């Protein structure tokens, strides 16, 4: 309550390659490692697991089917929630969903599947390429381009093949670029000021971990990276 709107009868699923929860299944079409986060472990039964798995795989099969995207998959999937989710992950270069790891999808009873909650950004902002906020990573794609792709890459790449999804992604990015991006940067500046006095104490315990000893320099590196990433996204959506 107050954290995610799935009601008492909804579901919260986590796709994670660690596959280490009690109630879980591997999906049929994409071999996604799906774990049940809600209902809670103590409330789950085998019958409930079967119902959840069957429902998820019916939705997944529509995405995998050769008729995609010209079928009714959007009767089961919230395109706006997906696009906004992908905007967050693309802007932050959070590549977790490729594995997938820490990738959540939720559903109200009798509702559509919605991506979220957003979670786990430690491998975002270019860290997959060596360090956070290295400007050289700002032009990197969020979806991997592997010869032997992971289940998450296959699943999310498939969704991004739908021209209607791409059109909505472009529309939502251009709106956010004009109306929200500078606000994000202001928020980063605000938090940088708030934590500046704590930085030396943090470094004394944990080490600098790629940052400098200068909060202003680190802040500027973050802002420069975000600007470069936004420019990348401008070019990215121009091809849609």
If you search the block for the tokens 């795989």, which residue do you land on?
57
The pLDDT assigned to 1 comes to 65
The pLDDT assigned to 211 comes to 87
Helix, strand, coil percent content, the chain, rounded in steps of 5 = 50, 10, 40
Tell me the pLDDT of the chain (240 aa) as tens digits. Answer: 677 889 999 999 999 999 999 999 999 999 999 999 999 999 999 999 999 999 999 999 999 999 999 999 999 999 999 999 999 999 999 999 999 999 999 999 999 999 999 999 999 999 988 889 999 999 999 999 988 999 999 999 999 999 999 999 999 999 999 999 999 999 999 999 999 999 999 999 999 888 888 899 999 999 999 999 999 999 999 999
Q: Of 9, 238, 16, 207, nearest to 106 (Cα)?
A: 9
If you search the block for the tokens 């990433």, which residue do you land on?
229
CB within 8 A of 168, min separation 6: which ones? 79, 80, 83
In angstroms, rounded to a whole number, what is the distance separating the alpha carbons of residues 133 and 210?
A: 9
Rounded to the nearest 10°, the torsion over CA 134, 176, 118, 130 is: -10
Note whether 47 and 25 are within 8 A (CB): no
The pLDDT assigned to 144 comes to 94
How many CA atoms lie within 13 Å of 83's alpha carbon, on the beta-carbon side? 21
Give the chain's end-to-end CA distance (angstroms, integer).
Answer: 38
The pLDDT assigned to 209 comes to 84
The pLDDT assigned to 158 comes to 98
């Amino acid at each position: 309550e107050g954290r995610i709107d799935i009601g008492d009868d909804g579901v919260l699923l986590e796709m994670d390659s660690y596959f280490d929860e009690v109630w879980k299944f591997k999906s049929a079409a994409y071999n996604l490692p799906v774990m049940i986060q809600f209902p809670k472990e103590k409330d789950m039964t085998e019958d409930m697991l079967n119902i959840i798995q069957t429902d998820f795989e019916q939705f997944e099969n529509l995405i995998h089917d050769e008729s995609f995207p010209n079928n009714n998959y959007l009767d089961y999937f919230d395109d706006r929630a997906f696009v906004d989710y992908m905007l967050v992950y693309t802007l932050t270069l959070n590549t977790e969903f490729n594995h997938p790891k820490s990738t959540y999808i939720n559903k109200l009873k009798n509702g559509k599947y919605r991506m979220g909650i957003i979670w786990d950004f430690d491998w975002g902002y270019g860290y997959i390429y060596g360090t956070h906020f290295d400007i050289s990573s700002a032009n990197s794609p969020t979806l991997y381009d592997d010869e032997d792709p992971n289940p998450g890459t296959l699943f999310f790449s498939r969704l991004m093949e739908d021209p209607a999804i791409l059109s909505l992604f472009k529309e939502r990015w251009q709106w956010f670029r004009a109306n929200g991006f500078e606000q994000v940067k202001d928020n980063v500046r605000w938090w940088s000021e708030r934590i500046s006095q704590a930085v030396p104490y943090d470094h004394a315990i944990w080490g600098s971990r790629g940052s400098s000893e200068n909060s202003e320099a680190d802040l500027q590196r973050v802002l420069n990276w975000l600007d470069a990433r936004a420019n990348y996204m401008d070019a990215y959506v121009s091809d849609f």
